[in-house]
Amino acid sequence: MYGVITFHRALNAGALLQCLALSRYMDSLGLDNVVIDYRNAFIERQHHPYKLYPDSLLKCAARAAVLGPVLAKRVKKFDGFVRDHMKTSKPYMSIEQLSADAGGYAAFVTGSDQVFSVDCAKFDKAYFLDFPGAEGKRYSYAASIGRDDLPEGYVQEYARRLSGYPFLSLREEAGAALIKNQLKLDVSAESHIDPVMLFDGDFWRGIATKPKEKDYIFLYTMLPSDTILQTAAALGKQTGLPVLWADDKYYKRHPGVSHRLAISPDEMLGYIAGARYVVTNSFHGTAFSILFEKQFIAEAAHAKSSRITALLSLLGLGSECVDSEPDWDAVRERLETERQRTAAYLRKIKHTVEGLPPEK
């Protein structure tokens, strides 16, 4: 049994969907696996809306009063999605508990998402598979460092943590280059597509929950900005369509935009699949717009936009596909090429772990 570890308990639809996709795709290749139900303390604090600010009771009370019921509903939906769609292990509340059970796993695969980041999850060793019992069992898929260079003081620790991998898969080409050029590790590193791209739109429609609304523009943001709100509102005015925004901060009103609260991962899929247009600055919002072959506008003007532009470049797309039809046949062909690369990489893990002869 393989163990997949990533941010499967983050309150982020893309995080859960990429985890589901990797687990399902590994299953399809004969890598029987479970998602390791590891509970990182930093992520868990975000997972409980009434316990977000233990250092400030006033701030905690104010947030609970304004957003508590909405966030509690969101947490319930996300927990239900994991329960209904993923195979998970027993909960692990600490890295020591995970280490104690390491012997029960044939190998571990960390990724996708920013599991190699210094910022996300407080640089937790668990996501680097840096714990006793994982030696000789460490593999990654599309793991992200989340930056083009490492902050001062982290290079030596990164080199130590990643030196135990026989080979590495990163999500961005910049991450793969960093392994070679800054860490100078004698480990092969290549980049692969985000797991959600491993399946086509039909697969995701089978998981989506269809919204009651029809004929609308869907606005999906990670870092809301005046620019993207104005872009969506202008498109709504131009087309006469309502703009539905997946955002829980209902008290922040914006002209021409209406909120949809506590959107679950399956509901997010349904809203994108059913939209006439999608406006987004989210990587996964862009990815699913492509998989559902939607007309979309992808804003890439923030600090985390490089992976959006990299994805668009890889698939030969521009940031605006509105009132013009991309060559979807060419996009599908490029995606299929990347899926074949992924399949070859994951089979390489299987052959290494199970002592099978390498593929010719």
Return the pLDDT at 147. 84
Residues 6+ apart with CB under 8 A from 225: 281, 299, 301, 302
Q: Measured between alpha carbons, how far is 66 from 52 in angstroms, rounded to an integer?
A: 13
Return the pLDDT at 310. 87
Would you say 290 and 199 are in contact if contact means Cβ atoms under 8 Å apart?
Answer: no
Strands 33-38 and 2-5: parallel
CATH code linked to domain 201-326 = 3.40.50.2000
Return the pLDDT at 69. 86
Burial of 171 (C-beta count, 10 Å sphere; 0-12/13-18/19+):
buried
Q: Measured between alpha carbons, how far is 194 from 67 in angstroms, rounded to an integer?
A: 31
Amino acid at 212: K
297 forms beta bridges with 279, 320
Edge-to-edge strand list for the sheet holding 33-38: 88-92, 33-38, 2-5, 107-110, 138-140
**The two three-digit tokens of residue 182, written as one number:** 């800054």
CB atoms closer than 10 angstroms to residue 163: 12
Q: Measured between alpha carbons, how far is 61 from 48 in angstroms, rounded to an integer?
A: 13
Return the pLDDT at 302. 61
Return the pLDDT at 53. 56
Closest to 21 measured CA to CA, from 37, 36, 35, 38? 35
Edge-to-edge strand list for the sheet holding 258-260: 258-260, 243-246, 217-220, 277-280, 295-298, 320-321
Among all chains, which residue has been given the structure tokens 């639809």? 13
Which H or E run includes 234?
A: helix 226-239
Return the pLDDT at 34. 98
CB atoms closer than 10 angstroms to residue 188: 13
Q: Where are the beta strands (DSSP E) in the chain?
A: 2-5, 33-38, 88-92, 107-110, 138-140, 167-170, 188-191, 217-220, 243-246, 258-260, 277-280, 295-298, 320-321
**The two three-digit tokens of residue 67, written as one number:** 């957003």
CB atoms closer than 10 angstroms to residue 119: 10
| Residuewise pLDDT in 10s, the chain (360 residues) | 999 999 999 999 999 999 999 999 999 999 999 999 999 998 988 766 665 555 666 666 766 777 788 888 999 999 999 999 999 999 999 999 999 999 999 999 999 999 999 988 999 999 999 999 999 999 999 999 988 888 889 999 999 999 999 999 999 888 899 998 999 999 999 999 999 999 999 999 999 999 999 999 999 998 888 999 999 999 999 999 999 999 988 888 899 999 999 999 999 999 999 999 999 999 999 999 999 999 999 987 764 567 888 899 999 998 877 778 899 999 999 999 999 999 999 999 999 999 888 776
Query: Largest Cα–Cα distance in the chain?
Result: 63
Return the pLDDT at 198. 98
Crossing angle for the helix pair 13-28 and 265-274, to the nearest 10 degrees: 90
Handedness of CA 250, 251, 254, 258 (dihedral sign): positive
CB atoms closer than 10 angstroms to residue 9: 24
Q: What are phi and psi of 200, to 5 degrees?
A: -90, 180
